[in-house]
Structures are given as structure tokens and as C-alpha cells.
């Protein structure tokens, strides 16, 4: 269950990063709505990270934080590509893939 908390928390990290970008590009009521999206998603993300690294069968804090951050980073980049027209240059995708492999590697060599 802790890994599910971690994965969902990482997805909410991507939501809060995307919300920050949208908030900076907005004004008025729209900016306020993106700010509320940021507050809600950052709260959920942090709470789920906390749940994943504490209690019974907790994920090791170093591994948990790396996985949480990696999931957030990957999905933030993908959101930028899909919704904001960001670059899909070879090296950008290459290093995104190395990030995914690094997160998987940390999980494989971590203490279970």
C-alpha cells in the first residue's frame, strides 16, 4: 500500500508543478484557481509521501523521496510536452529515460 501512496503522491507532485506554471501564465480568477489547485495538490502529495515513508512496511526515506521526485519530474516533463508544446529533442527524452531507469534501479537495490 505504501508504494501506491508514493506513486499517487508523485502524480500529485506533477499536478502542483504544472499548476505553478499555469498560475504564472494567468491573471485574475484563473490565477487564483491555479493557486488553489497548487495548494490542494501539494498538500495531497506531501501527505502521501509522509504516509509512504512512515508506519508499517514503510518505504526507506531516501528511496521514497527519489521515487516520489522522479515520478513528479517525469510526469511534469510529459505534461509540458503534451499541454505546453515543450521540446521533444532526443537528448531531453534520453535523459528523461535515464531518470526513469535510475528510479527503477534505486528500487531494485534498496532494502526491502
pTM of this prediction? 0.86
- Count how many domains the chain has: 1
| Residue-wise pLDDT tens digits, 9-46 | 999 999 999 999 999 999 999 999 999 999 999 999 99
Torsion angle of the four alpha carbons 23, 26, 31, 34, in this order, in degrees rounded to the nearest 10: -40
Grid cell in block for residue 13 = 507532485
**Radius of gyration (C-alpha) of the chain in whole angstroms:** 15
Split at pLDDT 50, 70, 90, the class of 111 is low
Residues of the domain holding 11: 2-109
Amino acid at each position: 500500500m505504501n508504494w501506491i501512496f508514493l506513486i499517487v503522491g508523485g502524480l500529485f507532485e506533477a499536478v502542483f508543478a504544472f499548476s505553478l506554471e499555469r498560475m504564472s501564465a494567468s491573471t485574475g480568477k484563473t490565477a487564483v484557481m491555479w493557486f488553489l489547485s497548487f495548494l490542494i495538490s501539494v498538500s495531497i502529495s506531501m501527505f502521501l509521501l509522509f504516509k509512504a515513508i512512515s508506519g508499517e512496511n514503510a518505504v526507506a526515506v531516501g528511496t521514497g523521496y527519489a521515487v516520489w521526485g522522479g515520478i513528479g519530474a517525469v510526469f511534469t516533463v510529459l505534461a509540458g510536452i503534451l499541454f505546453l508544446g515543450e521540446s521533444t529533442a532526443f537528448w531531453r527524452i534520453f535523459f528523461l529515460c535515464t531518470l526513469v531507469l535510475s528510479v527503477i534501479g534505486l528500487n531494485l537495490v534498496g532494502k526491502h
